[in-house]
Amino acid sequence: MNKLVVVGSVALDSVEAPGGQHHDILGGSASFFATAASYFTQPHLVAVVGSDFPRQHIDFLRERGIDLTGLEQVQGQTFRWKGRYSNDLAHRTTLDTQLNVFAGFQPKLPESYRDAELLFLGNIEPSLQLEVLAQVRRPRLVAMDTMNFWIEGRPEQLHTVLAKIDLLVINDEEARQLAREHNLPRAARAILALGPKTVIVKRGDSGALLFHDGSVFVAPAYPLEEVVDPTGAGDSFAGGFMGYLAREGSLGPQSIRRAMIYGSVMASFSVEAFSLDRLRNLTPHAIEERYRAFCDLTHFGQVSF
Amino acid sequence: MNKLVVVGSVALDSVEAPGGQHHDILGGSASFFATAASYFTQPHLVAVVGSDFPRQHIDFLRERGIDLTGLEQVQGQTFRWKGRYSNDLAHRTTLDTQLNVFAGFQPKLPESYRDAELLFLGNIEPSLQLEVLAQVRRPRLVAMDTMNFWIEGRPEQLHTVLAKIDLLVINDEEARQLAREHNLPRAARAILALGPKTVIVKRGDSGALLFHDGSVFVAPAYPLEEVVDPTGAGDSFAGGFMGYLAREGSLGPQSIRRAMIYGSVMASFSVEAFSLDRLRNLTPHAIEERYRAFCDLTHFGQVSF
């Protein structure tokens, strides 16, 4: 078992989707990531919330076994995001973003986190990602996410971080934007030239692509008939991916591929309900059952390697 | 080896794409289908061309081993299609369509075709597809393609054909339009309720989904760094799919899954050059090599079934 640390946001989301409207529900990249990862390992979380953050959410995260030593609670309001999905769930509009206490976030890793073997830098300002990187001793794998806002607004800092990390998890549109290249395999190659040894391109209901060491792996998305709330799917993917690697200990190519599938499993659960409600009470059996469904979805008597 | 018959268009295409402009090049659903299938079996083609159709194209199709007994050549101009792709190849605009001799197409199956075990009804008017169906004796598998034009313009005839065939190959947007449902698994379920036992949804560079007997299979698209001309990719997919099934003889679930991969292999070659140029001189070795690349692209130590 490897120690896994995640740094990111813990937020209160307001979401409008065809399935309903919900106000101030638990959200944020670190919440989704850590909850998904908690089914495989004990994630160690670094984030900040305000004095208004509901006690029940902290209790929930703790009950999931997540180490909250790195969760600061400070005076002020918690980070809030408000968004609306189109009727077909294919488009999302951000209606409001209030950084609140997140604006002053200075991530500090507790001493007990600094020997982390696996580190996930959630989607925060690249200069903060760099500060976190400076606080870990000898991680085996550093992965990160980012977004269009930093690609446009902080390109130099972002490139500095990219040169120092091992693995970038990014969605398709952002990969194209970062690489200035529409073709995804070419975009991935351009991103690999910036530093990371591995790039994972998330494509929503088209699955995810892994580019590593000249080889490509395709993980499908699970063909769900009912998608309720896509918020947090990418973070749940990353949490399942990194959580599985932490549990296995191995970072070999076969483990990375299976981690892609466990990431896809956790993302597929995540979108079945609002907030991270579907991730509250999963069983190991349900996770293994869906993993087997991914096997069934993709096998055709492959030549084994 | 099962006898495979394809009915569709043989056309002269004019294509504008970032990689160049080409005028009056060989195209049409039956050309792509039969050429892709010719690497697995001897396809039997039914189509019509005009008196202007270049001899060299007929020679090429014959050299590929395609039975052209059912290719009529009549007075007049050959069907012509003109289209333009966007710079990122993600969008296609039809600039001109001249049906010419195709407007009077009355497909007649030569006597030697009527005992076909496998029949592919390319994208032609549903009433013509019905006429073809009436001319085959006891096919084991009838597959068809269709398009938005018939979904909008000939809904009743289309539904009549759908009730009589086994397998529909359709692209994602047309599946949504036919089912009036954005979610693809739900759209596929709605289409299955119209008659076919199997639905294949083609998703371009996101691969293809197979819905059959309550199970789903996902075939990825091959991550190509250079796509030159997407025209005919879907027909090449269908040709590889049906050609492989004709060669194998089996229509069992494992054969159907492998056929999905061989279809994807042929589609991936097809888009590497204009017209069907990349399909002119493939070797069995090149096809098997790409099949193995699909194995490498998708395997993660699946539980075998």
Tokens at residue B84, please? 């333009």
- What confidence score (pLDDT) does residue A305 get? 46
Distances (CA, A) of B264 to A70, A231, B218, B224, B293: 48, 32, 11, 12, 11
Cβ B220–A215 below 8 Å, yes or no?
Answer: no
Query: In whole angstroms, what is the distance from residue B142 CA to residue B165 CA?
Result: 5
- What confidence score (pLDDT) does residue B303 get? 66
Q: What is the ipTM of this complex?
A: 0.93
The helix (run of H) or strand (run of E) holding residue B253 is helix B253-270
Cβ A185–B223 below 8 Å, yes or no?
Answer: yes
Mean pLDDT of chain A: 96
Tokens at residue B90, please? 């993600």
Count Cβ atoms below 10 Å from residue A169 Cβ, excluding itself. 27
- What confidence score (pLDDT) does residue A213 get? 87
**Cβ contacts of B88 on chain A, cutoff 8 Å:** 182-183
DSSP string covering B111-158 = GGGTT-SEEEE-SS-HHHHHHHHTT-S--SEEEEE--HHHHHH-HHHH
**Which chain B residue lies closest to A258 (C-alpha atoms)?**
B300
**Cβ contacts of B89 on chain A, cutoff 8 Å:** 182
pLDDT bracket for residue A270 (50, 70, 90): very high
Distances (CA, A) of B241 to A167, A177, B146, B169: 36, 35, 17, 10
CATH code 3.40.1190.20 for B4-298: yes
Tokens at residue A139, please? 């991680």
- What confidence score (pLDDT) does residue A1 get? 87
- What confidence score (pLDDT) does residue B213 get? 87
Count Cβ atoms below 10 Å from residue B207 Cβ, excluding itself. 21
| DSSP-based three-state secondary structure for A232 | coil
Query: In whole angstroms, what is the distance from residue A82 CA to residue A61 CA?
Result: 22
Residue-wise over B168-202: b if at least 16 C-beta within 10 A, else e?
bbbbbebbbbbbebebbbbbbbbbbebebebbbbb
- What confidence score (pLDDT) does residue B235 get? 97
Count Cβ atoms below 10 Å from residue A288 Cβ, excluding itself. 12
Which among B182, B185, B298 has CB closest to A298?
B298
**Cβ contacts of B300 on chain A, cutoff 8 Å:** 217, 219, 254, 257-258, 260-261, 298
Helix intervals (H) in A9-75: 29-37, 55-63
- Domain locations in chain B as residue ranges: 4-298
Cβ B300–A257 below 8 Å, yes or no?
Answer: yes
Tell how far CA B298 is from the center of its chain.
24
pLDDT digits (tens, 9 = 90+) for A100-132: 999 999 999 999 999 999 999 999 999 999 999
- What confidence score (pLDDT) does residue B1 get? 87
**Cβ contacts of B299 on chain A, cutoff 8 Å:** 257, 302-305
pLDDT bracket for residue A304 (50, 70, 90): low
Show which residues on chain B lie within 8 Å of chain A, measured between beta carbons.
87-90, 182-186, 189, 203, 205-207, 209, 215-220, 223-227, 254, 257-258, 260-261, 292, 295-305
pLDDT digits (tens, 9 = 90+) for A31-90: 999 999 999 999 999 999 999 999 999 999 999 999 999 999 999 999 999 999 999 998
Query: Does A158 score more than 90 pLDDT?
Result: yes
- What confidence score (pLDDT) does residue A34 get? 98
pLDDT tens over chain B, length 305 residues? 899 999 999 999 999 999 999 999 999 999 999 999 999 999 999 999 999 999 999 999 999 999 999 999 999 999 999 999 999 998 999 999 999 999 999 999 999 999 999 999 999 999 999 999 999 999 999 999 999 999 999 999 999 999 999 999 999 999 999 999 999 999 999 999 999 999 999 999 999 999 998 899 999 999 999 999 999 999 999 999 999 999 999 999 999 999 999 999 999 999 999 999 999 999 999 999 999 999 999 999 886 54
More confident residue, A301 or B305: A301
Residue-wise over A120-150: b if at least 16 C-beta within 10 A, else e?
bbbbbbbebbbbbbebbeebebbbbbbbeeb
- What confidence score (pLDDT) does residue B304 get? 55
DSSP string covering B53-71 = S-HHHHHHHHHTT-EEEEE
Cβ A185–B224 below 8 Å, yes or no?
Answer: yes
Cβ B298–A295 below 8 Å, yes or no?
Answer: no
Query: In whole angstroms, what is the distance from residue B146 CA to residue B175 CA?
Result: 10
Query: In whole angstroms, what is the distance from residue B266 CA to residue B40 CA?
Result: 11
pLDDT digits (tens, 9 = 90+) for A64-79: 999 999 999 999 999 9
- What confidence score (pLDDT) does residue B184 get? 97
Cβ B223–A254 below 8 Å, yes or no?
Answer: no
- What confidence score (pLDDT) does residue B114 get? 98
- What confidence score (pLDDT) does residue A90 get? 87
Tokens at residue A140, please? 């085996």
